[in-house]
Amino acid sequence: MSSVEILSNSQFQTVYNVFSFALASMLFTSIFLLVSQPRVLPRYRQALVVSATVCGIAAYHYIRIFNSFNEAYAPTAIGGDYHLTPFGFNEAYRYVDWLLTVPLLLLETIAVLALPKATRASLLTKLIPASALMIALGYPGEIAAETAPKMIWGALSTIPFLYILFILFVELTKSLDRQPKEVAASVGRLRLLLIATWGVYPISYLFPVFGMEGSQAFVFRQIGYSVADVLAKCLYGLVIYKIARMKSAEDDPAFAAQEFEEAPSSEVRAAA
């Protein structure tokens, strides 16, 4: 629960608008990915379904976050400050969301590559438990009031995070040799996007350690988490869609010719 007692009118409106932006982004990206399934071959549609599910789960939780925030703060006067109500702000919705969506983000990454069954199973059995453990270990630090336990839980959460990076950049790289050049390059950028967006979370998490406290820390944390969520889920899902399109065009020339209106293969790759 949030311990911030007062938000200025501008701070409240900023967080309100950021939550609204994140909710709309998640909802309509989910819809787009679902209706775009016919634009890829059947073997790659599972990745789009998982991507849409990730955004759908996030949209649901942003509805809960949005409602919790509205109930948590009430204005004292028109244009005045907003004070914390007895309802409080429930930050746990984010961690429930991440506990569900982070493993699915990794699942969609593996699914879109259509790897051999044994390779796919090996990667997923390593990535999914590690991602769930990373989120579970981060939550006690999020709600900790003191710096010491926050740092301890943050350090513990970093261990599975580093393990995930090892799997993505060492073990997954071995499987990219069998992927088309354009696909391998896109997967490389996808992994960098994941690191860049995931890097926002610990920075926001550690605001109190950096000396940023009170309402300012609360507002910047909500902005950081929300923007990172949009990039890690919506943008990530759209890149997954791009990779699925590229692999579909590479796998089936007839599908590519139909989808891209008889464009030459070089133009097909550029359009994907």
pLDDT one-digit tens code per residue, 146-190? 778 888 888 899 899 899 989 988 888 877 777 778 888 888 888
CATH number for the domain spanning 197: value is 1.20.1070.10
Examine residue 1 and state whether it is found in any structural domain, yes or no. no
Indicate the SS3 state at residue 207: coil
Instruction: Report in angstroms the alpha-carbon separations of 269 from 44, 108, 245.
Output: 17, 22, 9
Measured CA to CA, the distance from residue 214 to residue 6 in angstroms comes to 9
Sign of CA dihedral 172, 154, 17, 93: positive
Q: Are 4 and 84 in contact (CB under 8 A)?
A: yes
Global pTM value: 0.86
Looking at the structure of the chain, the number of domains it has is 1
- Tell me which H or E stretch contains 75: strand 73-75
CA distance 226 to 224: 6
How many whole angstroms separate alpha carbon 156 and alpha carbon 160?
A: 8
- Retrieve residue 103's tokens: 């493993």
Residue 98 inside a domain? The answer is yes
Range of the domain at 104: 6-271
- According to DSSP, residue 7 is labeled E
Q: How far apart are CA 30 and CA 28, in angstroms?
A: 5
Task: Encode pLDDT of 83-116 as tens digits.
Answer: 999 988 988 899 999 999 999 999 998 888 888 8
